[in-house]
Structure 1
Amino acid sequence: MEFMIGDSTILHPHCDPMTYPHLFPRGDKGWYSELEKIDQSRNRKRVSMLQFYSYRVAIRATFSAIHCGGKLFKQYIVDAYIKTEQNRLPFYRQNQKVPRVELYQGLMDHLANEAHIEGLRPGRVIILPSSFQGNPRAMQQNYQDAMAVVRKYRKPDLFITFTCNPTWREIQEQLFPGQTPSDRPDLITRVFKLKLNELIDDIFKKHILGRTIANVFVIEFQKRGLPHCHMLIILNSEDKIKSDNHIDRIVCSEMPDAARFPQLHECGHDCANIKLQRSIQECAAAQGGLEWDEIKAHIDARYVKAAWRVFEFPLHDKSHAIIRLAAHLPIGMYQNERKKKERTIKERRKMSERKKSER
């Protein structure tokens, strides 16, 4: 399935040079589906879209107009990841019977209730499964995995936030003349990932804070484009924090002076309430009544970590593998439509062979 941009598509090799003529003045081709690898393996002979853009934004010794593009480079890398994601989403929309289960009773009940309130009839349901990273279902499963670790090893002992500093020497030394760190999201991402790896080695291999038995971490990005990592660590019983002196050896903090920094202290009520709600007219305009489209909701509200995702760095990780059990309410078992049909075909084939043998 191709997506039109003007008179071109995101799958056309000329899409990139036509969209960014300043970055590709010679008309260098972009990704296309028939692009093959130089060293072909048994598993994959063609280059994926994500692999292509990861290769294109890599730093090399020769001049690169992409890395000197400033804001245009940031727009390009966002478009690069958006195209890779947009190329995957139609599969989920067109193959709802493959990833979705036969019964989403709770979701259907909620949709029917909302439709009744709005005076409409329930429409179709489009599911974005948890295998697609970045959607609420994936977040919920990762949360449950983290809670499974807590149930096994008890509550965490340390909550560590590791932030990116754009004035790091490794970032400043690699900037081109006249550039600022905000002009190079690729450089910030790679340096932060390397420093995060060093921090992980210090904590979990060198045990600078004591021996650990479990951990969970997640990567987030600030609105200004800088990444940070939230890490939960469960220490061994012998190394757990047991006194104030132990805390002071690990971390030190002070309350800021109220006279010098009044904005950091209590200044009265400062609360804004915002409600997001679809209008009745918009609901009524939907085909088939009130719809539940998780793919559209994801596209309308996504916040893209483009450089991080293009380099295929993990968004989260944990120390233990979690096996998810298919628990369900009565008469609410999960059924995969494709497997159900395959099982039905096999049963009919066996029945037909049995009848032939009886003859």
Structure 2
Amino acid sequence: SGQTSMHRHDVTVRVFKQKLKSLMNLITHHSVFGVTRCWLYSVEWQKRGLPHAHILIWLVDKIRPEDIDKIISAEIPDPNVDQELFDIVTTNMIHGPCGTLNMMSPCMDNGKCTKRFPKPCQTDTITNIDGYPSYRRRDVDNGGQSYELRLSNGVRVDIDNRWVVPYSPLLCKTYKAHINIELCSSVKSIKYICKYVHKGSDKAVFAVQNVNENDEITRYQMGRYICSNEAIWRIFTFPIHERDPAVIHLDVHLENGQRVYFTEQTALQRALTAPKTTLTEFFNLCSRQNVV
């Protein structure tokens, strides 16, 4: 009927909701990366209309350095080995290009890429002590792949592994979409992501001006910037954020220092039996041998 995602926001959010549900089911119930200990995600729009999700997963068994390349790739697939994956990666997982190849790219700020592309080439994946790993990105001379890309201005450029956004071959082939996956190897990176998924809606400053030409006062207000897709998402009451297991704030106090409420009739009973709190019950839970 000639309609696009711009015309049917209700369809857009429903499709994304189902794909997100499928992705979380694949990760948490089918354990494609290993048994999941806990997870959280947050959906956002960033003023661009279409939704995307930031997901953080904790695994029971840590991913060993030698297994990173089996799960995450930052290289262009060999089209002779897997043409389907090659088409998906070159269509969805290539950054920019930017820099000297395209100074007008949205990621450019003061002549530099805010995402730090192009990445340096290296023959092996290196795990950093504080941050994300430096993934294997072989150059053409060492077995890496490249292809020719035509930019919007008609210029043809060679794209190699320096421009690949890290991805999971399994997830890319399953959903045929842009899914960036990274290994968080430090508390610092996890703290950053947790803050990122909780940062809330985009802010916007707008002005309300009187149509009376004699009124020279302009009032500015601070408010949330909500696009049409986000509005439909909220109308459908779809969750913006989910996590498992649920997080409960503990009632922190010293030993036998919990707050006690009593009357004249219950003073003796309260003094003999200290009331239970979320903190004391948490300690009791941890003392059980069958609790991980």
For normalisation by structure 1, the TM-score amounts to 0.31
The structure with the greater share of residues assigned to strand is: 2
